Amino acid sequence: MSIGTHLTERLRAMAAAHGDTQGLLHDEHGQRLVVADGATQAMLSFADHDRYSVTLRTLKIGAGQLAGDDVRAYFSATAAEIIRRLSFLEEPLAVWELDGGQQLAQLRSSPPERMGEEVSYWEVALTAGEQPAAQISRYRWAPGCVERELVAYPATFGLIARIADGLAEALQTMAQ
Protein backbone atom coordinates (compact mmCIF):
# COMPACT_ATOMS: atom_id res chain seq x y z
CA MET A 1 0.00 0.00 0.00
CA SER A 2 1.38 3.45 -0.90
CA ILE A 3 1.90 6.36 1.48
CA GLY A 4 -0.83 8.24 -0.40
CA THR A 5 -3.27 5.40 0.26
CA HIS A 6 -2.36 5.43 3.96
CA LEU A 7 -2.96 9.19 4.10
CA THR A 8 -6.29 8.86 2.30
CA GLU A 9 -7.48 6.11 4.65
CA ARG A 10 -6.58 8.17 7.73
CA LEU A 11 -8.22 11.28 6.28
CA ARG A 12 -11.40 9.37 5.44
CA ALA A 13 -11.50 7.85 8.93
CA MET A 14 -11.02 11.31 10.43
CA ALA A 15 -13.86 12.72 8.28
CA ALA A 16 -16.13 9.81 9.21
CA ALA A 17 -15.42 10.41 12.91
CA HIS A 18 -17.27 13.77 12.62
CA GLY A 19 -14.70 15.99 14.25
CA ASP A 20 -12.98 13.39 16.43
CA THR A 21 -9.35 14.46 16.20
CA GLN A 22 -7.85 11.52 18.06
CA GLY A 23 -4.43 10.72 16.66
CA LEU A 24 -3.89 14.24 15.30
CA LEU A 25 -1.25 16.62 16.56
CA HIS A 26 -2.28 20.25 17.08
CA ASP A 27 -0.19 23.40 16.89
CA GLU A 28 -0.70 27.13 16.34
CA HIS A 29 -1.19 26.58 12.60
CA GLY A 30 -3.79 23.83 12.75
CA GLN A 31 -3.63 20.08 12.74
CA ARG A 32 -0.97 17.58 11.72
CA LEU A 33 -1.42 14.00 10.65
CA VAL A 34 1.58 11.66 10.62
CA VAL A 35 1.51 8.29 8.85
CA ALA A 36 4.15 5.76 7.86
CA ASP A 37 4.42 3.01 5.30
CA GLY A 38 7.58 1.05 6.00
CA ALA A 39 10.53 3.42 5.62
CA THR A 40 8.37 6.17 4.12
CA GLN A 41 6.81 8.79 6.39
CA ALA A 42 4.33 11.54 5.65
CA MET A 43 3.42 14.56 7.75
CA LEU A 44 0.40 16.51 6.56
CA SER A 45 -0.23 19.90 8.13
CA PHE A 46 -3.66 21.37 7.47
CA ALA A 47 -5.99 24.07 8.77
CA ASP A 48 -9.41 22.49 8.29
CA HIS A 49 -11.11 19.51 6.68
CA ASP A 50 -14.44 18.18 5.46
CA ARG A 51 -15.60 14.83 4.08
CA TYR A 52 -13.46 14.98 0.94
CA SER A 53 -10.78 17.63 1.36
CA VAL A 54 -8.39 19.49 3.62
CA THR A 55 -6.91 22.97 3.52
CA LEU A 56 -3.30 21.94 2.93
CA ARG A 57 -0.57 23.93 4.63
CA THR A 58 2.38 21.59 4.09
CA LEU A 59 2.98 17.99 3.12
CA LYS A 60 6.35 16.49 3.99
CA ILE A 61 7.51 13.09 2.76
CA GLY A 62 10.63 11.31 4.00
CA ALA A 63 11.75 8.27 2.00
CA GLY A 64 14.78 6.31 0.91
CA GLN A 65 18.40 6.98 1.71
CA LEU A 66 20.92 9.24 0.07
CA ALA A 67 22.52 7.36 -2.82
CA GLY A 68 26.29 7.87 -2.89
CA ASP A 69 28.32 10.84 -1.75
CA ASP A 70 27.53 13.26 -4.57
CA VAL A 71 24.72 15.29 -2.96
CA ARG A 72 24.53 17.75 -5.86
CA ALA A 73 24.02 14.94 -8.39
CA TYR A 74 21.39 13.35 -6.13
CA PHE A 75 19.52 16.66 -5.79
CA SER A 76 19.72 17.37 -9.49
CA ALA A 77 18.34 13.94 -10.43
CA THR A 78 15.69 13.94 -7.67
CA ALA A 79 14.53 17.46 -8.58
CA ALA A 80 14.07 16.37 -12.19
CA GLU A 81 12.10 13.33 -11.04
CA ILE A 82 9.87 15.46 -8.78
CA ILE A 83 9.21 17.87 -11.67
CA ARG A 84 8.17 14.92 -13.84
CA ARG A 85 5.98 13.25 -11.21
CA LEU A 86 4.19 16.46 -10.13
CA SER A 87 3.50 17.71 -13.66
CA PHE A 88 -0.25 17.69 -12.86
CA LEU A 89 -0.01 20.78 -10.60
CA GLU A 90 -1.46 24.09 -11.85
CA GLU A 91 1.94 25.46 -12.77
CA PRO A 92 4.98 23.44 -13.85
CA LEU A 93 7.83 23.21 -11.36
CA ALA A 94 11.42 24.24 -12.08
CA VAL A 95 14.61 24.22 -10.02
CA TRP A 96 14.90 27.51 -8.16
CA GLU A 97 17.99 26.78 -6.07
CA LEU A 98 20.35 23.81 -5.79
CA ASP A 99 22.98 23.85 -3.04
CA GLY A 100 24.81 20.58 -2.44
CA GLY A 101 26.88 22.13 0.35
CA GLN A 102 23.78 23.13 2.31
CA GLN A 103 22.07 19.87 1.28
CA LEU A 104 19.04 21.81 0.04
CA ALA A 105 17.23 22.17 -3.26
CA GLN A 106 14.16 24.30 -3.94
CA LEU A 107 11.73 23.89 -6.78
CA ARG A 108 9.08 26.51 -7.52
CA SER A 109 6.25 27.09 -9.95
CA SER A 110 7.63 28.48 -13.16
CA PRO A 111 5.92 30.61 -14.14
CA PRO A 112 3.96 31.31 -10.96
CA GLU A 113 0.26 32.18 -11.00
CA ARG A 114 -0.25 35.95 -11.30
CA MET A 115 -3.39 37.83 -10.39
CA GLY A 116 -2.59 41.49 -10.91
CA GLU A 117 0.51 42.17 -8.83
CA GLU A 118 -0.09 39.19 -6.54
CA VAL A 119 1.95 36.02 -7.14
CA SER A 120 1.09 32.50 -5.96
CA TYR A 121 3.31 29.48 -6.40
CA TRP A 122 4.11 25.95 -5.29
CA GLU A 123 7.43 25.33 -3.58
CA VAL A 124 9.08 21.98 -2.96
CA ALA A 125 12.00 21.99 -0.53
CA LEU A 126 14.22 18.95 -0.93
CA THR A 127 16.62 18.18 1.93
CA ALA A 128 19.20 15.48 2.61
CA GLY A 129 20.25 14.01 5.90
CA GLU A 130 19.70 10.63 7.47
CA GLN A 131 16.67 10.33 5.25
CA PRO A 132 16.01 12.57 2.25
CA ALA A 133 12.76 14.52 2.47
CA ALA A 134 10.62 16.73 0.28
CA GLN A 135 8.12 19.27 1.58
CA ILE A 136 5.53 20.97 -0.61
CA SER A 137 3.65 24.16 0.23
CA ARG A 138 1.77 26.90 -1.58
CA TYR A 139 2.89 30.52 -1.09
CA ARG A 140 1.60 33.97 -1.95
CA TRP A 141 3.38 37.29 -2.25
CA ALA A 142 2.06 40.75 -3.09
CA PRO A 143 3.62 44.21 -3.14
CA GLY A 144 3.65 45.59 0.38
CA CYS A 145 4.20 42.17 1.97
CA VAL A 146 7.42 42.00 3.91
CA GLU A 147 7.65 38.27 3.30
CA ARG A 148 5.73 35.66 1.41
CA GLU A 149 2.76 34.01 3.12
CA LEU A 150 2.02 30.33 3.43
CA VAL A 151 -1.37 29.73 1.78
CA ALA A 152 -3.90 27.21 3.08
CA TYR A 153 -4.71 25.44 -0.19
CA PRO A 154 -7.98 23.48 -0.63
CA ALA A 155 -7.01 19.97 -1.73
CA THR A 156 -9.06 16.81 -2.11
CA PHE A 157 -7.89 13.65 -0.39
CA GLY A 158 -7.11 12.28 -3.86
CA LEU A 159 -4.84 15.22 -4.70
CA ILE A 160 -3.03 14.87 -1.36
CA ALA A 161 -2.47 11.15 -2.08
CA ARG A 162 -1.24 11.85 -5.60
CA ILE A 163 1.26 14.48 -4.42
CA ALA A 164 2.44 12.24 -1.55
CA ASP A 165 2.96 9.27 -3.86
CA GLY A 166 4.76 11.40 -6.46
CA LEU A 167 7.18 12.80 -3.89
CA ALA A 168 7.76 9.40 -2.25
CA GLU A 169 8.36 7.68 -5.60
CA ALA A 170 10.82 10.39 -6.68
CA LEU A 171 12.75 10.12 -3.42
CA GLN A 172 12.81 6.31 -3.52
CA THR A 173 13.69 6.07 -7.22
CA MET A 174 16.66 8.37 -6.92
CA ALA A 175 17.90 6.78 -3.67
CA GLN A 176 18.45 3.42 -5.36
29-38 tens-digit pLDDT? 678 899 998 8
Q: What is the mean pLDDT of residues 149-170?
A: 95
Residues 6+ apart with CB under 8 A from 73: none
Mean pLDDT of the chain: 88
Side-chain half-sphere exposure of 73, counting CA atoms within 13 A: 6
Compute φ and ψ for 152, nearest 5 degrees: -80, 110
Nearest to 120 by CA among 160, 154, 168, 79: 154
pLDDT computed for residue 67 by the predictor: 63
What is the pLDDT, as a whole number, of residue 48? 85
In this predicted structure, the answer to whether residue 173 has a pLDDT above a threshold of 70 is yes
| pLDDT digit string, tens, across residues 94-105 | 999 877 677 889
Average pLDDT score over residue span 115-141: 93
pTM of the complete model? 0.89
Residue 18 has pLDDT above 80, yes or no: no
Is a pLDDT exceeding 70 seen at residue 24?
no
Q: Strand pairing of 104-109 and 118-127?
A: antiparallel
pLDDT attached to residue 76: 87
Q: Kindly report the CA angle at 98 between 92 and 102, in degrees rounded to 5?
A: 140
The pLDDT value given to residue 143: 92
Residue range 144-161: average pLDDT? 94
